[in-house]
Amino acid sequence: MRKINYRTEEEIELIRESSLLVGKTLAEVAKNIKPGVTTLELDAIAEDFIRSHDAVPGFKGYNDFPGSLCTSVNDEVVHGLPTKEALCEGDIVSVDCGVYKNGYWGDSAYTFSVGEIDEEVSNLLKRTQEALKLAIDVAVSGNRIGDIGFAVQSYTESFGYGVVRELVGHGLGTDLHEAPEVPNYGRKGNGPKLVEGMVLAIEPMINLGGKSIRQKKDGWTIVTADGKPSAHFEHDIVVRKGKAEVLSTFEYIEEVLKTI
């Protein structure tokens, strides 16, 4: 098993800087989400914004991924490729963004609605975001990785949703994906112990229907097996005593959404 890194306060500040830039980038994307826009256009907006802040859109070229964003529409769970296809009223789009700056990563994701969406899908988005909050609440030193997964799984399954198993959160720092894995399912008290200075990307991927997924022929995009929508929210946090500190933010996004 790979070794878990414990970050110094100086390193945490650099991860925070990258994570905040992701939040600002997602807000730029949010300004442009409307029926008719393509995810390829959103991708270009994100890339320009990140580069204009002296940072690298880290997803671009990561394992040969072509975009600066992962854009996953409706039944697409994660790792969706930006395309020339326009978003439509009633769609949802999960936008995942990674930034690399000063040697450290930020990684955060938000699922947006395109115009008015069905109430059951709207509830899925709200509850997936709430699951992320509940997960962060238990990401404190002395707890274990399984406590995070349990928090997400017990809450979201109470609504009959499917919790994706094959894709998980992760440690984060000088690499995008570091140990430990942070599953969105689990048992209380199981798994590696949470220790101060561990930086984790927590990212529930929750399906309106069943938990099963498959990969599209493009070699990237993950979709739900039953074709039902899926939501994805992600924050970067550092484990502290008593209360985790969130390094990424949705504040800039929420300011934009208030004006739409």
CB distance 4 to 171 below 8 Å: yes
- Residues 219-258, one symbol each (x = binds Mg ion by CB under 5 A, - = not), give ---------------x------------------------
The sign of the dihedral angle between the CA atoms of 23, 122, 238, 103 is negative
Nearer to Mg ion, 11 or 107 (CB): 107
Nearer to Mg ion, 23 or 241 (CB): 23
Q: Of 55-63, 91-99, 157-165, 246-254, which segment contacts Mg ion by CB under 5 A?
A: 91-99
Nearer to Mg ion, 201 or 206 (CB): 201
| Least distance from Mg ion to the Cβ atom of residue 85, Å | 22
| Least distance from Mg ion to the Cβ atom of residue 244, Å | 16
H or E segment and range at residue 122: helix 119-137
| Least distance from Mg ion to the Cβ atom of residue 35, Å | 25
50 is an interface residue for Mg ion by CB under 5 A: no
| Least distance from Mg ion to the Cβ atom of residue 201, Å | 4
Instruction: Tell me the C-alpha distance between 15 and 197, whole Å.
Output: 12
Reading the block at residue 1, the tokens are 């098993």
| Least distance from Mg ion to the Cβ atom of residue 160, Å | 25
Q: How far is CA 191 from CA 149, 179, 181, 194, 209, in A?
A: 10, 12, 10, 9, 27
Reading the block at residue 137, the tokens are 């609440």
87 is an interface residue for Mg ion by CB under 5 A: no
181 is an interface residue for Mg ion by CB under 5 A: no
Q: Of 45-53, 106-114, 187-195, 217-225, which segment contacts Mg ion by CB under 5 A?
A: 106-114
| Least distance from Mg ion to the Cβ atom of residue 89, Å | 26
Instruction: Tell me the C-alpha distance between 112 and 10, whole Å.
Output: 33
SS3 annotation, 231-256 = EECEEEEECECCCCEECCCCHHHHHH
201 is an interface residue for Mg ion by CB under 5 A: yes
| Least distance from Mg ion to the Cβ atom of residue 227, Å | 23
43 is an interface residue for Mg ion by CB under 5 A: no
Tokens 């991708």 found at: 43
109 is an interface residue for Mg ion by CB under 5 A: yes
Nearer to Mg ion, 76 or 96 (CB): 96
107 is an interface residue for Mg ion by CB under 5 A: yes
Query: Residue 195 in 3-state DSSP?
Result: coil
Backbone angles phi, psi at 220, to 5 degrees: -125, -60
Number of neighbours of residue 62 by Cβ within 10 angstroms = 13
178 is an interface residue for Mg ion by CB under 5 A: no
Q: How far is CA 183 from CA 31, 118, 124, 165, 187, in A?
A: 31, 28, 19, 7, 10
Residues that bind Mg ion (CB under 5 A): 96, 107, 109, 201, 234
